[in-house]
Amino acid sequence: MSETLTIFTYDWVPKGPRGFVRDLRLRWAAEEAGLAYEIGAVPFEDRQPSHFAHQPFGQVPFLTEGDISIFESGACLLHLAKKSEILMPRTPRGEAETTEWVIAALNSIEMVSVPWWFLGLSGDHENGLSGWLDSRLAHVETVLGGREWLVEGRFTVADLLMADVLRIPQVRARGDRPASEAYIRRALARPAFEKARADQMAHFAAADAKRGEG
């Protein structure tokens, strides 16, 4: 099999989630590290067994590389981080701290922020998870008040993921958290993020054109 690194996303999505679909996390990491990659696509509207074979929940992203197929953006990021010290320090302590913050972004923040956002889709941003979310965001604000980046004073894949989790507009609008806001801006100003975001937007715009929409 080819050893090409391929990042899979949907063939099309509605306008709302564009710029936030999680293949962006993998594109961003590959751009930071200068890794060559291709983009693959699976149908958004008619999810096939071949998609579920790679991603048992029918979501994206997943990546393939030779005989390896990985789903979960966090696992894909840890896989990419093994390829480049740009994404993760090579010391045992640096690896441990990068891994803990990758998982904290997913399991301490996103575990509350995504269900909170989901409940808020009906318009109610003051719901049963609001207090818990505010508490978690306050702890992150304390951490970010004391450091520029999460691990060893420099950007790692942990910052990529934490910034992507925190940049959701509804989360970002929640309370006054200046250190978090400055951190998000620092991360989003990176050329690799801008490239990844522009490429994702172009991918879905091309799909509109093909469908005769736009």
Residue 46 or 67 having the CB closest to its own copies: 67
Residue 20 or 132 having the CB closest to its own copies: 132
Asked if 193 and 28 count as a contact pair (C-beta separation under 8 A), the reply is: yes
Residue 60 or 204 having the CB closest to its own copies: 60
Residue type, 58: G
**Min. distance of Cβ 70 from its own copies in angstroms?**
5
User: CA 12, CA 135: separation in Å to the nearest integer?
Assistant: 36
Token representation of residue 150: 């999460």
**Min. distance of Cβ 211 from its own copies in angstroms?**
27
Give me the residues that bind its own copies (CB under 8 A), please: 56-59, 67-68, 70-72, 74-76, 78-79, 92-93, 96-97, 99-100, 102-104, 106-108, 110-112, 114-116, 118-119, 122, 127-129, 132, 136, 139-140, 142-143
Give alpha helix (H) positions in 5-56: 23-33, 49-54
**Min. distance of Cβ 118 from its own copies in angstroms?**
7
Token representation of residue 42: 């699976």
The beta strands (E) that lie in the chain are given as 6-10, 38-42, 62-65, 68-71
**Min. distance of Cβ 90 from its own copies in angstroms?**
14
Residue 79 or 195 having the CB closest to its own copies: 79
Residue 133 or 203 having the CB closest to its own copies: 133
Give alpha helix (H) positions in 82-129: 92-104, 111-120
Length of the chain: 214
